[in-house]
Amino acid sequence: MINVKDKVVLITGGSTGIGYAAAKIFLKNGSKVVIAGRSDSAGKQAVSSLREISENVEFIAADVSNPNNVKALINSTVELYGRLDIAFNNAGIDGTFASITEIEDDVMNDVIDINLKGVWLCCKYQIKQFKAQQSGGVIVNTSSWLAKGAFAGSSVYSASKAALDGMTRALAVELGPDGIRVNNVNPGYIKTPMLSRFFDPDSKEAQPFKSHAPMQRFGESEDIANSVVWLSSDSASFITGESLLIDGGLSIGGQR
């Protein structure tokens, strides 16, 4: 078992996909978990299922682009469990993948609000809590392989995630003396509801995307979640400022 027993964990975007998978693994390893999201119904359904693993899980509705929501989310987590040890800032949106000349300006604002500003706000108030506790802390953010790679039409999403990688490095330098570690995970093509909005992962249409990765498959949510839990544990205690590609080799250069 990875040693995260009795740790208090906050997961944004925790009702589905990678966030939900991470909540399951944290709970199986003895953590106390708060999941957050914008949908009450999805959050309550997720908690109902997660309580089959452990009763130590709650849902709090929050919009991470709203500073007051973020502050209330962290305050409520501390009220529930007495402290905050680990934060997995996973909430994100895909926006529109299209030519830059076809994307509406509002799409850029929405993606940056959630994917970058939202993570920045979460980090800000999580770090305030860590410093108040004077016991360090761990943050893991969800970036993307598109922070380092690209394809035609990914300009907005790629920009939001590349900025997140840069922010994580800066925070790691700033917060290392306080015993606070900050890292990213950078998923490739993972079978989540977000990917399914583009194509059915099991369809013929998806095959070219699957075959481009050397491992010849799409990732599962658990492939990312396992790495998140490991990065959050003392097993990774000397790792900070990293953006860990978990993409089955998708972003390796060269013609395939």
pLDDT tens digits for 78-136?
A: 999 999 999 999 999 999 989 999 999 999 999 999 999 999 999 999 999 999 999 99
Rounded to whole angstroms, the Cα distance separating 64 from 92 reads: 9
- How far is CA 233 from each of CA 2, 3, 200, rounded to the nearest angstrom? 7, 6, 34
Q: In this structure, is residue 211 part of a structural domain? A: no
**Count of domains for the chain:** 1
Contacts of 189 (CB under 8 A, 6+ apart): 195, 201, 209, 210, 213, 218, 219, 247, 248, 250
Question: For the CA atoms of 17, 92, 10, 135, what is the dihedral angle to 10 degrees?
Answer: 130
State the Cα–Cα distance between residues 17 and 192, nearest whole angstrom: 5
Residue 70's closest CA among 25, 27, 105, 37?
37
Q: Is residue 253 assigned to a domain?
A: no
Q: pLDDT grade, residue 55 (50/70/90)?
A: very high
Structure tokens at 113: 């609000």
> For the segment 223-241, what is each residue's pLDDT rounded down to a tens digit?
999 999 999 999 999 999 9
81 is catalytic: no
Question: In which band, very low, low, confident or very high, does the pLDDT at 256 lie, cut at 50, 70 and 90?
Answer: low
Predicted pLDDT at 1: 59
Q: What average pLDDT does this structure show over 140-169?
A: 95
Tracing tokens 């909005």 back to the chain, one arrives at 197
| Nearest residue to 93 (alpha-carbon basis) of 223, 192, 22, 212 | 192
Determine the average pLDDT of the residues in 190-210.
75
Q: Are 64 and 114 in contact (CB under 8 A)?
A: yes
Cα 233 to Cα 137: distance, rounded to the nearest angstrom: 10
Assigned domain for 2 exists: no
Q: Are strands 137-142 and 180-187 parallel, antiparallel or unpaired?
A: parallel
Spatial distance between the Cα atoms of 248 and 256, rounded to a whole number of angstroms: 14
| DSSP code for 146 | G
- The string of pLDDT tens digits covering residues 30-50 is 999 999 999 999 999 999 999
- 210 falls within a domain: no
Task: Identify whether 105 is part of a domain.
Answer: yes
For residue 168, what pLDDT band results from cuts at 50, 70 and 90?
A: very high
Instruction: Give the residue numbers spanning the domain of 39.
Output: 8-192+221-244
Residue 198 reports pLDDT greater than 70: no
Q: Write down the mean pLDDT value for the chain.
A: 94
pLDDT at 206: 73
Confidence at residue 151, expressed as pLDDT on a 0 to 100 scale: 85
Q: Parallel, antiparallel, or unpaired for β 57-61 and 32-37?
A: parallel
Tokens 């934060």, residue located = 87
CATH number for the domain spanning 53: value is: 3.40.50.720
pLDDT value at 197 more than 80: no
How far apart CA 89 and CA 201 sit, in angstroms, is 25
Given the residues 20, 81, 157, 189, select the one marked as catalytic.
157
Report if residue 21 sits inside a domain: yes
Alpha-carbon distance of 160 to 166, in angstroms, equals 10
What pTM value is reported for the model?
Answer: 0.94
Please determine, for residue 185, whether its predicted confidence score (pLDDT) is greater than 80. Answer: yes
